[in-house]
Amino acid sequence: MIRNAIIDRNEENEMLDVCLLGTGGMMPLPRRKLTSLMTRYNGSNLMIDCGEGTQVAVKEKGWSFKPIDVICFTHYHADHISGLPGLLLTMGNAERTEPLTLIGPKGLVRVVSALRVIAPELPFEIQCIELTQPEETYELNGYHITAFRVNHNVTCYGYTLEIKRAGKFDAQRAKEQNIPLKCWNSLQKGETVVCEGNTYTPDMVLGAPRKGIKLTYTTDTRPVKAISDHAAGSDLFICEGMYGEQDKDDKARAYKHMTFKEAAQLAKEAQVAEMWLTHYSPSLVRPEEAVKEATDIFPNTIAARDRQSVELMFEE
């Protein structure tokens, strides 16, 4: 009974809640907010980009601002960061005191400092991580975050979020090695334990790592190999589809954005489970009418709408 209780407590958190809060690019529309993604895992919320209207979208979704622990920025064009000052003020008014981590390309401190002119006093600390390398990884609040550089007209990054999953705990092996019961929970979490003069390591009781959850998010870029490489095998690939119309190829190249077809080709190369298109041009009034441009190449494509949501589960 004790063993089951230990395992069940860990199994409860084997889900990643995902909500694409806004799907608009460049400017908000009456029924389309600017780009932002929010995820929830094990009591910690993470956000990627924070365009105008993000706060309203969070409220409409029924989620909370207070548990947001990490905000990642792809780049600093206004449609990706203009909602930050108001969000910080709202989080402060919610009596948040825990530190907030911001991740983004080089210049993050300067940009955030400028935006905070209208949000100068907050009851929590802001910790900034500036990205300078083509690829960087971080472990924060149960998220394994990989930032990878893409190809826009300013420095821009895509992000892969992974929830790693350790191998299954083998109680029989633990008993055979006389590992005290009080050490089991820590070992199951992947921690090394020193107890009664003995050192116990996770590999003594855990099987091979199991498949985790993987989500990749990228906007404002031309198609580059780094995207398909990092998106490979993702459960969900959220990708810019700035243009769905057939006559926009030249414009996409000129402004370093992507078409539906180009996004679909990346999804096909990466062999993802599902792709959501996002970051639509204001001229693309009904993206669902153009989605065949993508589904002809990658059938499991969805022209996402604001607050498109899913629960990504660990495989049994």
Annotated binding-site members for Zn(2+): 75, 77, 79-80, 152, 220, 279
CA distances in angstroms from 35 to 31, 90, 299, listed in the order given: 13, 19, 24
Lookup: tokens for 3: 């063993």
Half-sphere exposure of residue 155: CA atoms within 13 angstroms, side-chain side: 14
Annotated active-site residue 79? The verdict is: yes
**Residues 294, 298, 304, 308, Cα dihedral to 10°:** 180
Given 17, 49, 69, 79, the catalytic residue: 79
Q: 10 Å Cβ neighbour count for 124?
A: 14
CA angle 244, 249, 251 (to 5 degrees): 100
Nearest to 138 by CA among 130, 150, 146, 148: 146
141 φψ region: left (φ > 0), alpha (ψ -120 to 50), beta (else) = left
On whether the CB atoms of residues 137 and 145 are closer than 8 A, the answer is yes
Annotated binding residues, written as ranges, equal 75, 77, 79-80, 152, 220, 279
- By annotation, the residues acting in catalysis are 79
